[in-house]
A and B are shown apart, each in its own frame.
Chain A
Amino acid sequence: MRNVIFRLMAHLHDCWHCGAKDAASLFCRYCNTIQAPTPDYYEFFDLPRRLAVNPEDLKSRFYTLSRLLHPDRYTRRSEQERRFSLEASSILNDAYRVLKDPIQRAEYVLRQEGFPIGDQRNKDVPPELLEEVFELNMALDELRGGDLDVLPQLDAMRRRFLDMLAEIDRSLEALFARHDAAPPEERKEALAAVRSMLNRRRYISNLVQEVDKQLTARNA
């Protein structure tokens, strides 16, 4: 609850310039002066906290806000305004980078909701992948040993992993929709499902990277 009040206050505060009460989010609604920006990505874009985001809508908001906030527009303004413009533009760019990518976006929401997301160097093999990972490591060992006969097999495995990733992305989309439609009391549960899907995705994506690294090292 404290969290919510905090955000509301960050969202609407008194204008530093004209002093109007509760007048300002990015700009004061009375004097139109730029304000200290909110660090919350969804709030910044004035978007509801959903996991599914329409990329075209996001892009158009990004361009509109860029035109309003970029430091180029504040060269001849006061030092305070210049500082807010720099701060706001950096948050805008960071937020756009995160929100336009479904994975980063989901991780952002998970972090905000207090879910620890797995360490990137997580080595625990998901049980259903045990066999494939074992096979992959064997093949990579053979490749390192100079055995080029495993190349077709590695390539086939790489493609299979990519297929898995595509499938995960489709399920993520469904999970996002489920989360966004869920009543508040069921959201935590929906997020937990998103998290385990993301962990699985990260694991497989690391495998693909590992194969790619070995293959480019081989080619170099």
Chain B
Amino acid sequence: MSTFQIDFSSTQKRRIIGIDLGTTNSLAAFMDLTGPEIIPGPDGSRMVPSIVSVAADGSFVVGEPARRLLIDSPDRTVYSVKRLMGRGREDVAEELKLFPFRIAEGSEQVIRLQLGERTFTPPEVSAQILKELKRRAEQYLGEEITQAVITVPAYFNDAQRQATRDAGRIAGLEVLRLVNEPTAASLAYGLDKRREGIVAVYDLGGGTFDISILRLHEGIFEVLATNGDTHLGGDDIDNRLLAIALEDIASEWGEDLSHNGEAVQTIRQAVIRAKEELSFQPATVIDIEYRGRRYQRELRRELFENLIRDIVDRTLGPCRQALRDAGLEPEQIDEVVLVGGSTRIPMVRRAVEALFKAKPHSELNPDEVVALGAAVQAAILSGDVQDKLLLDVTPLSLGIETMGGVVSKLIHRNSTIPASATEIFTTSVDGQRNVLIHVVQGERELVKDCRSLARFDLKDIEPMPAGMARIEVRFLIDANGILNVTARDLRSGKEQSVEVKPSYGLTEEQVEAMIRESYEKAEEDLRERQVREARVEADNILAAVEKARSSDAWLDLTEEERAAIDAAINELQMVYHAGDYLLIRDRIEKLDAATRRLAETMMNTAVREALKGTKIE
């Protein structure tokens, strides 16, 4: 218990870490004296693969060790879970054709993944990755970590952002800020060294694509426009190659392996290897060995590029839209920054260079730059960095449903956040007590073409004739890009109660239950550790006393003293196997007290021996 009650009276000094929670890999970084640094694992690895496996005993295996389990126990292991964050079942129909996600029953509002015998929501799975990063950070930095900045794709909507924040909370982290990945990357690049300029950040990761255009001005990073596709990335390339390999193998071996989870994962890992090699050499071989059979196929870069051209082209539309929204021509972009592992592909680089007519920056490792930027943002929040400030925007317009299912836009996309809008609502029926407001996100004119975000229920309205009530509702998108709603009755001036019903994702109650569960788990873990530590201490003292029996000091003890020591040993051994560490510690102390004179005598003898110049053991 005591570990949880440590008094952080100097909360000012608490360290905030930066986390890149990626589709394929996740990383943590912190601000060192010389600049942001990646936090390595005990084995020196810098990335945690975003793979989570649930063992038969209910414990989690995360990262590199779980990669092996993708093949050995595919029904207990999940990857690319970021694709499911903040989404509903009907959204992911397409994904299900390509990813081995097993969606459990009762997944209407929030998806539940079947992993072994249990089901987990995407935030719970992501929380395991975050916990692993937290553990690494605590081990490396030697202090408890409770606060973090987590990055999200710039084009993430409200539900996806909420889900990410929920994951942090379930992992025991207070998420002080969600930062958009491309913006974080621009912070890491220290581009503000040039005092003025326009920068485009092109971020093609494992599962998401973002483009952000920023203006730099004396340490202020002002995002002018952002665009993207939250379902476009290296995964799509892998799936393309995988489909071709599966088809090829089917015709060669006369066996369709596409429903064999183990085979699919083996082939998937082989095509990823081939893809990565093609970034550095003109040709490679897809080489697969499965159950004693071998499949080999040469893949040349030209063919690879033909296969993925449409995927790369899909990134260009959002780039042009972002330029238009920023009111800029490609020639006005001073610098282009590449982020995300997929930007290692030469064809991607060529496409970016051709569009922006500028040679892209890639000095920093594209896998690490987002986490490094998150650490810089963490230092801005802690006050350690004061000369930089991020002004980000909301990627999607926010609106409410009006008559006929038409959207009335309240906050337009690319508005600098925090941003707000105020609307006045009234009743349409005499004595009406509730008004329901349906909030959506998106650019289309009809509600059905936008993303439903939540329904806000203005409750307990004073009954009065229709149209008389005047309720002022304030919609505020905070610096995390998350919507906050408050309402006020203009007639009474009193705060109006609002009940939030999210369309997708966890309710506040569900998140709290998960935090409690994970907290209880943590307590359980802690108790176990304390019992183990108490036993180790008991072993030490028991061994020491046994050893002392053969010393001269033992003979100096009185009969009663020896009897007291034996009784204390007996007492300790009786509680040794019980799970109560407090009891073990209590008996250790009693034994310690009973042997105090023994220890003193031994010490004195030792000192005397030492003074005599004799060497003692």
Query: Are A90 and B418 in contact (CB-based, < 8 A)?
Result: yes
Query: Are A93 and B415 in contact (CB-based, < 8 A)?
Result: yes
Tell me which of A72, A76, A89, A96 has the highest count of chain B C-beta atoms within 10 A of its own C-beta.
A72
Expressed in whole angstroms, the minimum distance between the Cβ of A101 and any Cβ of chain B is 12
User: With A66-B391, A72-B177, A72-B381 as given contacts, are A90 and B220 in contact (CB-CB < 8 Å)?
Assistant: no
Query: Are A70 and B479 in contact (CB-based, < 8 A)?
Result: yes
Number of A residues, CB within 8 Å of B: 17
B50 near A: Cβ within 8 Å? no
**Which one, B176, B217, B421, B476, contacts A75 given CB within 8 A?**
B176
**Which one, B389, B420, B478, contacts A91 given CB within 8 A?**
B420
Report B-chain residues with C-beta under 8 Å of the C-beta of A73.
389
Expressed in whole angstroms, the minimum distance between the Cβ of A90 and any Cβ of chain B is 4
Report A-chain residues with C-beta under 8 Å of the C-beta of B477.
90
What 0/1 readout, one digit per residue, does chain B (350-392) give for beta carbons within 8 Å of chain A? 0000000000000000000000000001001111000001110
In the bound assembly, the distance between CA atoms of A63 and B377 in angstroms comes to 18
Query: Are B417 and A93 in contact (CB-based, < 8 A)?
Result: yes
A212 near B: Cβ within 8 Å? no
User: With A72-B381, A76-B383 as given contacts, are A94 and B419 in contact (CB-CB < 8 Å)?
Assistant: yes
What 0/1 readout, one digit per residue, does chain A (59-103) give for beta carbons within 8 Å of chain B? 000010011001111011000000000100111011011000000
Q: What are the 6 tightest A-B residue pairs by CB atom distance, in nearest-first order?
A: A90-B418, A90-B420, A75-B381, A93-B416, A89-B418, A71-B479
Query: Are A86 and B476 in contact (CB-based, < 8 A)?
Result: yes
New contact pairs (6) apart from A71-B478, A72-B381, A72-B390, CB-CB < 8 Å: A75-B176, A76-B11, A76-B12, A86-B478, A86-B479, A97-B419
Report A-chain residues with C-beta under 8 Å of the C-beta of B382.
75-76
Contact residues of B between 1 and 17, Cβ < 8 Å to A = 11-12
Expressed in whole angstroms, the minimum distance between the Cβ of A62 and any Cβ of chain B is 9
CB-defined A-B contacts under 8 Å, sample of 15? A63-B218, A63-B220, A66-B391, A67-B220, A67-B389, A71-B418, A72-B377, A72-B389, A75-B177, A76-B383, A86-B476, A90-B417, A90-B418, A94-B421, A97-B416
Query: Are B220 and A93 in contact (CB-based, < 8 A)?
Result: no
Interface of chain A: mostly helix, strand, loop or mixed: helix
Query: Are A89 and B220 in contact (CB-based, < 8 A)?
Result: no
Tell me which of B177, B217, B220, B479 has the highest count of chain A C-beta atoms within 10 A of its own C-beta.
B479
Expressed in whole angstroms, the minimum distance between the Cβ of A64 and any Cβ of chain B is 10
With both beta carbons as reference points, the residue of chain B lying nearest to A89 in the complex is identified as B418
In the bound assembly, the distance between CA atoms of A122 and B375 in angstroms comes to 51
Query: Are B217 and A63 in contact (CB-based, < 8 A)?
Result: yes
In the bound assembly, the distance between CA atoms of A214 and B227 in angstroms comes to 24
Expressed in whole angstroms, the minimum distance between the Cβ of B172 and any Cβ of chain A is 19
With both beta carbons as reference points, the residue of chain A lying nearest to B176 in the complex is identified as A75
Contact residues of B between 209 and 251, Cβ < 8 Å to A = 217-218, 220
In the bound assembly, the distance between CA atoms of A65 and B415 in angstroms comes to 17
With both beta carbons as reference points, the residue of chain A lying nearest to B390 in the complex is identified as A72
Q: Chain B contact residues (Cβ within 8 angstroms of A): what range? A: 20 to 34
In the bound assembly, the distance between CA atoms of A73 and B219 in angstroms comes to 14
Expressed in whole angstroms, the minimum distance between the Cβ of A10 and any Cβ of chain B is 15
With both beta carbons as reference points, the residue of chain A lying nearest to B412 in the complex is identified as A97
Contact residues of B between 409 and 440, Cβ < 8 Å to A = 415-421
User: With A76-B383, A86-B479 as given contacts, are A70 and B416 in contact (CB-CB < 8 Å)?
Assistant: no
Expressed in whole angstroms, the minimum distance between the Cβ of B389 and any Cβ of chain A is 6
With both beta carbons as reference points, the residue of chain A lying nearest to B391 in the complex is identified as A66
Report A-chain residues with C-beta under 8 Å of the C-beta of B383.
75-76
Report A-chain residues with C-beta under 8 Å of the C-beta of B389.
66-67, 70, 72-73
Report A-chain residues with C-beta under 8 Å of the C-beta of B479.
70-72, 86, 89
Contact residues of A between 85 and 130, Cβ < 8 Å to B = 86, 89-91, 93-94, 96-97
Query: Are B391 and A70 in contact (CB-based, < 8 A)?
Result: yes
Tell me which of A73, A89, A97 has the highest count of chain B C-beta atoms within 10 A of its own C-beta.
A89
Report B-chain residues with C-beta under 8 Å of the C-beta of A90.
417-420, 476-477
Report B-chain residues with C-beta under 8 Å of the C-beta of A97.
415-416, 419
Report A-chain residues with C-beta under 8 Å of the C-beta of B217.
63
Report B-chain residues with C-beta under 8 Å of the C-beta of A72.
177, 377, 380-381, 389-390, 479
Query: Are A86 and B418 in contact (CB-based, < 8 A)?
Result: yes
Query: Are B380 and A96 in contact (CB-based, < 8 A)?
Result: no
In the bound assembly, the distance between CA atoms of A66 and B380 in angstroms comes to 14
With both beta carbons as reference points, the residue of chain B lying nearest to A60 in the complex is identified as B217
In the bound assembly, the distance between CA atoms of A89 and B217 in angstroms comes to 18
In the bound assembly, the distance between CA atoms of A94 and B415 in angstroms comes to 8
Tell me which of A76, A91, A96, A97 has the highest count of chain B C-beta atoms within 10 A of its own C-beta.
A76
In the bound assembly, the distance between CA atoms of A90 and B380 in angstroms comes to 19
In the bound assembly, the distance between CA atoms of A73 and B383 in angstroms comes to 7
Report B-chain residues with C-beta under 8 Å of the C-beta of A63.
217-218, 220
Expressed in whole angstroms, the minimum distance between the Cβ of A206 and any Cβ of chain B is 15
With both beta carbons as reference points, the residue of chain A lying nearest to B217 in the complex is identified as A63
Report A-chain residues with C-beta under 8 Å of the C-beta of B12.
76
In the bound assembly, the distance between CA atoms of A191 and B126 in angstroms comes to 56
In the bound assembly, the distance between CA atoms of A96 and B476 in angstroms comes to 16
In the bound assembly, the distance between CA atoms of A144 and B412 in angstroms comes to 30
Tell me which of B381, B416, B417 has the highest count of chain A C-beta atoms within 10 A of its own C-beta.
B416
